[in-house]
Every structure is written in C-alpha cells, then in structure tokens.
Structure 1
C-alpha cells in the first residue's frame, strides 16, 4: 500500500471516529440547578408546592436523588400531610432513601439555594422540557437500532414510533396508574360537569332521547351502529356530526371508506338547507332556494368537521391519522363509515372473521389511547331479511365477527319498518311507521337498553327528534314572498361544479336517498 492510499483511507476513517466520540461525549439535556431550586421551594413554600405538583413527575428529574426526594414529597401530598424539611426527611427514611440522597445535609442545602417560590412554575416547565428532550433522544435511538435490524416489521416500527412520540406531543406523559384519591376527585368533577350540562357527561349526539339514555358518548367508548343497507346508517351519523359540530362546536372527524368527501358534504348541505336532494343534484334551484342555500351553508363552512375519504384504510394508517387530528385540531369524536371496508396490514391468513376481530380490537384501543369516543358503522348479515315478523335486528346479526359485540361499549341498530313495507308499529297504538325510524340500543355497558323513535326525512337523508318540526322557519317559499330580487344577485358559478355533481354519476351507494 503506497503513502497516497494510506492517507486516503485515513481521511475516511477519522471523521467516523470523531463523530462517534462526539455522540458519546454529549451530556443529556438537564437543568440540575433548577431541579434543586424547585425541590427547595416545594419544602419551604406551600404556594410553590401547589403550583408544581401537578406539572412534575418523578421521572422528570435527571438526578436519581432528586427523583427520590420528589417521590417523598408527592407521597406526603397525596396523604394530605404537611410538607417541610422534617416531614420530607422522615418520609425518605420510611422509603429507605435517606442515606442515598445525602441525608439532612443535602436537604438543607436545597432549601438554602432558594429564597422564595417566585417563578417556580416556569422552572418546573423547563425541567419538564428537558425530560421531553431526553425522551426524544431515547425514542430516536431505539428507532435507529430497530431500523438497522432487518427482522423488524416496518409497520410495527412505524406504529410504535408514532405512538411513543404522540405521548410526548400530547402532553400525556403520565404514570401508568392512578391512586384512589385522584380518581375520586375526577369522578366528582365529572358529576359536577353533568349537572351543569343537563346530565351530559360525554359528547352529545344532538338527539334528545338518545342523550337521555347515554348521557353523551364518553371518552374511550367504542360505539357500533349497525343496520342493513338502505336503513340510513350514513344519514344518521352525518345528522349527528352536524348536530355536534354546528350546534355544539365540538370537533369531529369522519373517515368515509365508501363515499367521497364531496358526496358527504353535499348530504349535509341538503339536510341543513331543507332543499330537496334531487334539485341540488341537478342544480335546478330558484332564486329563493339559492339564497336559502347560501344563508344556511355558512353554518357548515365554520363547523369543525374533518372528512377523510381514503379508500380501504387500514388500522395502522387510521391510528396515525387520528393521533394527528386529536393533537392538532382537538377532535373529540371519530366516526368510521364503515368497519367492514377497513383492512389490516396482514392479509396472509385469509380469515375474514379474524381480520374483523383485529380491526374491532384496534378501534377500541384507539378510543382508549386518544380518550375519545369512536363510532363505527357496521353491516348486518342477511339473516334479518329472511326472518319473519318485524325484522328487528339482533346482536347475533352482526356480520362476520362476534368480537364486535364483545369489544363495543354500545351496540345499536337502525330499524325502519317502512323499508320492509310494514305500515304500522308493533305497539298498542299501532301508530304509522311512515317517516319514522327506531334506534335500538341492544348493548350498553354502562347504561340501560332502549328503543328510541326518531324522524327520518328520506329526501334530505336526515334524522331528527320525533317531536321536532320538519318545517324550516325561513324556507324557500317564505323567502320567495319576502325577497326583493333587486337586492340579490346570483354569483357567476356553475351549480354542477359547486357540488361535485359529476361524483354522483356513477354512485352505486345503496343507502337512502342517494
């Protein structure tokens, strides 16, 4: 080997060694002086304690002795004991940590390094930020190691990585358990919230009788809404999404695996304006109806509604999308239309029932992880059609998997006897079924079972409370009589372009009314 070759090889090897040494020589992000100041302030000032105890956790501290001291302070706080130099010292002795932290000499030194609790909350936030940086480094290192391992499943790595990072970005770096005291406090706060919200402790559906039974849809709930084609599953959840986003201003995400986003928003426009669906599809509107449309559609424009129409969405992509929607837009409910159109990444087994079971469990896991209710639509088997009598669906009719029933907190069905040419309800009054539907709550893990009557307006694909009027206070006819045509000029647009009518030309959706 000649001298030139040796120099060339040396020039390539030296940077690699230098980089590696630099990485090993870096100190993890930390703020030791602020840790000392915060712990000292917590022991001398009750105000400082109250401002930081909810921000900090044991793992947030870099030094092990600081973790032990904070653990002792947190134990005293949870037991409603006074917190000062002596009580903390005694608690450390009980925990067996007194000698390892340096005894009273170290504790006294902490209290002497701070004069008051001024700016203690700011200091606590800095300690939290340093911990987050250390966690990011830890997670990144783990990702790098696993990425170099050729046996690693790429989808599992992506899901695991995003899950860990979401915990940080969501600010949910919490302990894995909660003590009884904190849980009782949360339960009491929830009861107070229910009294202030007229009995609603979860996300309201906007249907009065439904909310009476459910008290709203609660975080971590998986709610299955099932029906045969043509019953109006999509119409029901869209009516509910409109109620939640327009009337309550609560952010909702809709994942539509069957219909395009423009079709869904057009359905919402039909329901919101009260204009006949056929007229909107054809763009054949009078001047009064155009004004009605532009007036009513503003409510939808400002609604916190997010629609994703990705077809054949798999559970891994769904989980990633939901995390972003919750963290970036504060979404409080997730709707999926519908469950049987979802997929998993592993299709090798060929067993559809196992695949649906996996999807069902994953949806429940998403609801628990993000602490939002997940509403998933589901198909029913054809056994309903062949059955005699009223043809009301049963839990056994859930299609392809019994795991759906097992995982769900609420299982409900939509039943419209009018669809089966049944003219009257099977009750004592024998009331007519025309324009009516029944929401059957067949499983309710935390409440009662009930059959709830609702009004269904087929030409608008809309559900309403049975007692609610179907007339519009400022409908097209009223506007026509009171409108001055000189004051209203139609914008120069093509109606077909406005509502994506081309999307309907090949629409094979078998649900009413499209």
Structure 2
C-alpha cells in the first residue's frame, strides 16, 4: 500500500477537514485515513512510521551528538523530533521534548497523530513547555546524573529570544559540552529560510538555515534536513 501524500500533508488535510466540516480533529484524522484505505488514523500512522527512517536515523546518531534538524514549516520536523523521542522510549533511553512553540496539549495531539497513546509514554517521556527553556534550563532538567538521554528542542531560533538568556552560540556550546560529558544526544529543530523554495534543490542544507544571530555550525556534529517527504542526514566536519 502506498500513501497518496507524505503524512505531514495528510495531517494538514485532516486539519482543514476538521475546520471546514466542524468536526473533532480525531474524527477528521480517521476520515483521512479511511480515504487512504486504512480503518483509522492509528493504523495509518503505524504504517507510515514503519516506512519512515526515524529508527534508522536514531541508529546513526552516536552518544555525544549535537544534531540540527531543519525543514520548512509544515514539512514534518516536529513530528520527526517526536518520533525520535518515541523511538528513544522504545529503546529504554531517557527521552525529553522541550518546546517553546507549543503547549502540552498540542504535543499530545501530535503524539496521537503518530499513533502513540499518551499512557505509553507517561513517566518515560518528559515534555517541557516552560517559557524559561534555554541551554541552562535544558541541562538542569536532564541532569548530569542521567546518561544516554535523547533530548529534542523545538526550536533553535527561539532559544535566545529572551534578552536575559545568553547568546545563541554560548548556549549551543554549553549543550555540545553537556551532550559529550553525559553521552546524550541532543537534537535541535531549526527553521529554514523561505528563500530555499525559490531554488532548484530538492532538499535544504546548512546555507538555508534562518539565523537572526550568528552561530558556528561547526558546534554541531550532524545535520538532518527534510523536504516533501525526503530526509537527508549528514556529518558535519
């Protein structure tokens, strides 16, 4: 069986259906799934998860990695981040999802879209939606006594939005050191400049990252880019 569109586009269709038909999102998701030949969204999500490279990507990440995950809005970077956290839970690793973008209810809605029941991750996946999220906050919440954690941060450009937070590069240096000393993996989601869509390239790269403030990309060990269902992982020299 083949989906008519990447799952992030199907999710967008379901949101539009929920709004236009004035029905709950879960009902719109199930209807979208039935249109694809599945009996429910959870069935479609499980099928799509098996086809996506999330487990392969996590297997390619090493203890101490600081990873940049970039995509244009609506191309699935947040879902990919959550999937990496879910995969960490499945492999009995401490998992964290820090977001300055959404409240907890939205995060759990996205987990549902991925076919993951809230009870399946309770006590195993820490979801932090605090306005105080920055490198120091992340390090404090994970703690130096925890090793091999997988932490997702949504997203890079918001870390220094508050004037009292350290400069972005200072925070990334702190996260790189923390990841290295605790053998953890930290993945920072990143915006991609809209100018990328005017280029002939099929997938963005480091030059397309939207940065309001300077940052040395050499602080990252790996970068992963997504666009229109394609995913590309690269080492950063």
Specify the TM-score bucket, using the shorter chain as the normaliser: 0.5 to 0.7
- Residues 417-456 of structure 1: pairs in structure 2 closer than 5 A: 437-445=229-237
Higher helix share: 1
Instruction: Say if 2:73 and 2:191, in contact at 8 Å, map to a contact too.
Output: yes
1:299 aligned partner: 120
2:209 aligned partner: 398
Match of 1:252 among 58, 82, 95: 95
Match of 2:186 among 351, 374, 378: 374
Instruction: Work out whether 1:311 is the aligned partner of 2:94.
Output: no
- Give unmatched runs, 5+ long, in structure 1: 1-204, 274-295, 349-353, 417-436, 446-514
1:272 aligned partner: 115
Report how many aligned residue pairs link the two structures: 188
CA 1:404–1:253: 2 relative to 1, 3 Å: farther
Looking at CA atoms only, which structure, 1 or 2, has the larger radius of gyration?
A: 1
- Residues 176-191 of structure 1: pairs in structure 2 closer than 5 A: none
Match of 2:197 among 385, 390, 407: 385
CA 1:239–1:368: 2 relative to 1, 3 Å: same
- Give unmatched runs, 5+ long, in structure 2: 1-48
1:364 aligned partner: 176
- Residues 215-294 of structure 1: pairs in structure 2 closer than 5 A: 215-245=59-89, 247-272=90-115
TM-score by length of 1: 0.33
CA 1:249–1:371: 2 relative to 1, 3 Å: closer
Distance in 2 between residues matched to 1:405 and 1:361, nearest whole Å: 10
What do residues 452-507 of structure 1 show as CA deviations (whole Å, max 9, x unaligned)? xxxxxxxxxxxxxxxxxxxxxxxxxxxxxxxxxxxxxxxxxxxxxxxxxxxxxxxx
What do residues 270-315 of structure 1 show as CA deviations (whole Å, max 9, x unaligned)? 3226xxxxxxxxxxxxxxxxxxxxxx554334x6111111125232
Higher strand share: 2
Match of 1:334 among 118, 136, 151: 151
Greater relative CO (CA pairs within 8 A, separation 6+): 2
Q: CA deviation at 1:365?
A: 1.9
TM-score by length of 2: 0.67
Instruction: Say if 1:252 and 1:331, in contact at 8 Å, map to a contact too.
Output: no
Distance in 1 between residues matched to 2:218 and 2:113, nearest whole Å: 36
Distance in 2 between residues matched to 1:415 and 1:231, nearest whole Å: 6
Matched residue SS, 1:272: coil
Instruction: Say if 1:224 and 1:411, in contact at 8 Å, map to a contact too.
Output: yes
RMSD: 3.1
- Residues 439-478 of structure 1: pairs in structure 2 closer than 5 A: 439-445=231-237
Distance in 2 between residues matched to 1:229 and 1:311, nearest whole Å: 21
